[in-house]
Structure 1
């Protein structure tokens, strides 16, 4: 009996210490806010600065956007950073390289992230004309049009007094908490929902910090949202190509979350990603995606992810349904290269070409656009189109001018197949729209007409389970070697690898 009492007392002390640490963390955040306000001369973006334009007010420190009707919009960190950059330099043209460096670095993301972010800002601002807020400068980037005024918000002169009052109240609360916890033997410990909310807010920009907070929650006991949050954080942190190395760990965390709450939001969507990329298990991924489609909010990110995975599984009707919903519900997200790629993979060349032309009419060319454009040219046997986009990719990959000129001369003298024959031998970059080796070697060999080499490299890609090979059965490029005697064997092997239903 005495031993049980000691253990119970020790547990209560541990819980008190944990909750006291949480309060101390809040105090540190409050103190950090005060210290930040004291450095406004050297770091004005941390103080009470606001930007005003066309009746709108943007407050960078809190990432809040106020409409002319005083409607409050809380922006995601990346959107707030992008809008701040625009407001600081109105009427300036920002190319996409600058935006990636200033807003997304050090994370490596595709240029589609810029397209999506700009579309979101335009939607929040109610932009209905290209001359209102953010203007696309074809071939260059984006320009912030409104005349923008920088101003200081009104502040209370008693901010430090309020902080000391807050600190005193928090200290009293800690003492009271210790007193109550030590005297009450029946109080239940509730899951720290505030920690979970803070962790979820950090997922995109700081997955390591998010994981730390989720683990703090789990230190108190099992929690479905925390288990699932750990998986989400790891999906943000771990490159897709490396997910197979972490598949068992992620699946175990998902099982724990599912055992505690099988109706948890996002559980099926996240599970589908883990089983698709981490296990190459099409059967389980298909089951999870089917559940997710009926339960998830159909955001643009979900619809694109759903379409990409269903495409690999040959569910073209579902892909078409997803694209249709994306166009109907989110027209500002529709004109992106990923949708052109989806049309191409389904064999709809006319829609794929139309999507590329629509983007070129209204937006600056991106890496993703040139990748999709090159593949469309190859599928249509349009060597000029394929070469023009390959040439642009060579420039974006910073290949030496002499090398690019040599490839151009080879194209003019011997044709596109000869260029890819040389690329297969030299492999100057993995950013030419054909992934990395060995799959890139296989694709260059296919275009060069070297089917035997293509079979060898495709066999290696499947043996290594190179992530881009997940679309082996869907990509029309591989149909060019469908008559080769080794192709059927490769396809059967692929179906076995992905546990195709």
Structure 2
């Protein structure tokens, strides 16, 4: 788009050697404008499409447009990209083009997952995952008819739209007809199923994930040296099969096959952190940052220090990031956890408010939250969040896990255990870091807490 290459799965804008990040919501807004390039979209249309089901003011739209313009280096007075039409709305005046074409050799870059209802999300998926795409590049430049069809299907995966997923799946089938031994096409079909699973109920997702695992295992038999297949197997064994021994094997095999790929080290670090291996997780994260310095602002290192019970060092890492770039939603979420761990609730609350603003809460809701804090601090704020059934991720993941963590802060251990059990039934991925996260310390002597750990296959840090 103009001089920028837009990558929705990374929430990034790239121009030459320069890469800038956009929050998820502004990126979705930019994509919607791009789908209607040269058309004037009213504020009502944009609010209804991007903030579906939420009661928000026009201010959130103004802020999102401003963030997009800032990232693009655009000007409201002399726009090259987004034009404001007073009283009417906004228009993207720089039509985009799809890149790359299926027949164009491309540089072998891997997108970082927009950690899904984890980062995606894992305590990293706390960022990436609520809309975790779980995508990594498999295969190489087209060298056969089957490979060419595979690359076309892989390209469509990045759109994450239902009709594109169907087309991608069809292309992967055609690729297998051309080349029955093309394991990467099986990887593609598995990814289609996993993406579908992210948008379905728990009951519907289970058979989709099982089918995906079968395809990945078959892909491994056909292409045992495919790093993307090994990585996805590792992630599935870790997050859904809960077979940590096999997960470690697959992660290490993926790194052995493609050690220059930063995503291998990034996800392996998340696994190591859940296992309580903080030193190894820190080494893997440093490797990831060395290979992908543009993602230094993702507060992974800070979170590792926090789980290692070095919150002051974690805060120091956050302060380094804050000095380099504008804090984003993932930064505020990390700051909330770390500052609470340090007992600095007033500062943590500032980041709660920033998270609410960036998440599209109304001015009235934010004002009510301020009143709760004035009356009883974060303890009362979190009790009020439970009462109001605020299920959004405001620094402590989404509900029901969020409610468990709020109840811990509110000194309601029995309620916290109840919500943790519900989170376990819902198979919230962030529970995989429960054994090492110091936030759960008030529950560590509770027998039901250990029961949940056992159900997850996890051991307390001392073991």
TM-score class, shorter-chain normalisation, is 0.5 to 0.7
What are the superposed Cα offsets for residues 373-417 of structure 1, whole Å, 9 maximum, x if unpaired? 101111111111211111112223333333322321222232221
- The reply on whether 1:142 has 2:78 as its aligned counterpart is no
- Taking the aligned partners of 1:201 and 1:352, their CA distance within structure 2 comes to 38
- Taking the aligned partners of 1:209 and 1:349, their CA distance within structure 2 comes to 47
| Structure 1: unaligned runs, 5 residues or longer | 1-44, 46-50, 52-57, 64-74, 85-93, 108-136, 151-189
What are the superposed Cα offsets for residues 181-201 of structure 1, whole Å, 9 maximum, x if unpaired? xxxxxxxxx762221232233
- Taking the aligned partners of 2:371 and 2:418, their CA distance within structure 1 comes to 29
The Cα shift of 1:337 comes to 2.9
- Taking the aligned partners of 2:450 and 2:9, their CA distance within structure 1 comes to 46
Match for 2:379 among 417, 421, 424? Answer: 417
The Cα shift of 1:289 comes to 1.1
- Taking the aligned partners of 1:281 and 1:106, their CA distance within structure 2 comes to 42
Whether the 8 Å contact between 2:262 and 2:289 is mirrored in structure 1 is no
What are the superposed Cα offsets for residues 76-121 of structure 1, whole Å, 9 maximum, x if unpaired? 687999469xxxxxxxxx99854441148899xxxxxxxxxxxxxx
1:106 and 1:338, CA in 2 relative to 1: closer, same or farther beyond 3 A?
A: farther
- The reply on whether 1:374 has 2:343 as its aligned counterpart is no
The Cα shift of 1:213 comes to 0.8
Q: How does 1:230-241 map to 2 (within 5 A)?
A: 230-239=189-198
The Cα shift of 1:433 comes to 2.0
The Cα shift of 1:312 comes to 1.7
Whether the 8 Å contact between 1:258 and 1:264 is mirrored in structure 2 is yes
- Taking the aligned partners of 2:416 and 2:236, their CA distance within structure 1 comes to 29
- SS of the residue 1:325 aligns to: helix
Query: Residue in 1 aligned with 2:124?
Result: none
Query: Residue in 2 aligned with 1:172?
Result: none
- Taking the aligned partners of 1:425 and 1:404, their CA distance within structure 2 comes to 15
1:403 and 1:313, CA in 2 relative to 1: closer, same or farther beyond 3 A?
A: same
Residues paired across the two proteins, number: 353
- Taking the aligned partners of 1:312 and 1:326, their CA distance within structure 2 comes to 17
What are the superposed Cα offsets for residues 249-296 of structure 1, whole Å, 9 maximum, x if unpaired? 012112221222222232211111222233222222122112222222
- Taking the aligned partners of 2:362 and 2:186, their CA distance within structure 1 comes to 48
| Structure 2: unaligned runs, 5 residues or longer | 16-21, 36-65, 82-143
Query: Where does structure 1 differ by over 6 angstroms across 4 or more consecutive aligned residues?
Result: 75-81, 104-107, 137-140, 145-150
1:415 and 1:274, CA in 2 relative to 1: closer, same or farther beyond 3 A?
A: same
Higher deviation after alignment, 228-237 or 276-285? 228-237
1:399 and 1:264, CA in 2 relative to 1: closer, same or farther beyond 3 A?
A: closer
- The reply on whether 1:364 has 2:314 as its aligned counterpart is no
1:225 and 1:191, CA in 2 relative to 1: closer, same or farther beyond 3 A?
A: farther
- The reply on whether 1:192 has 2:146 as its aligned counterpart is yes
- SS of the residue 1:465 aligns to: coil
- SS of the residue 2:227 aligns to: coil
Higher deviation after alignment, 194-203 or 96-105? 96-105
**TM-score of the aligned structures, taking structure 1 as reference length:** 0.62
CA RMSD in angstroms comes to: 3.7
- SS of the residue 2:71 aligns to: strand
The Cα shift of 1:450 comes to 0.6
Tell me which structure has the larger Cα radius of gyration: 1
- Taking the aligned partners of 1:322 and 1:422, their CA distance within structure 2 comes to 39
The Cα shift of 1:440 comes to 1.5
- SS of the residue 2:224 aligns to: coil
Whether the 8 Å contact between 2:278 and 2:304 is mirrored in structure 1 is no
Query: Residue in 2 aligned with 1:153?
Result: none
The Cα shift of 1:444 comes to 0.7
Query: Residue in 2 aligned with 1:88?
Result: none
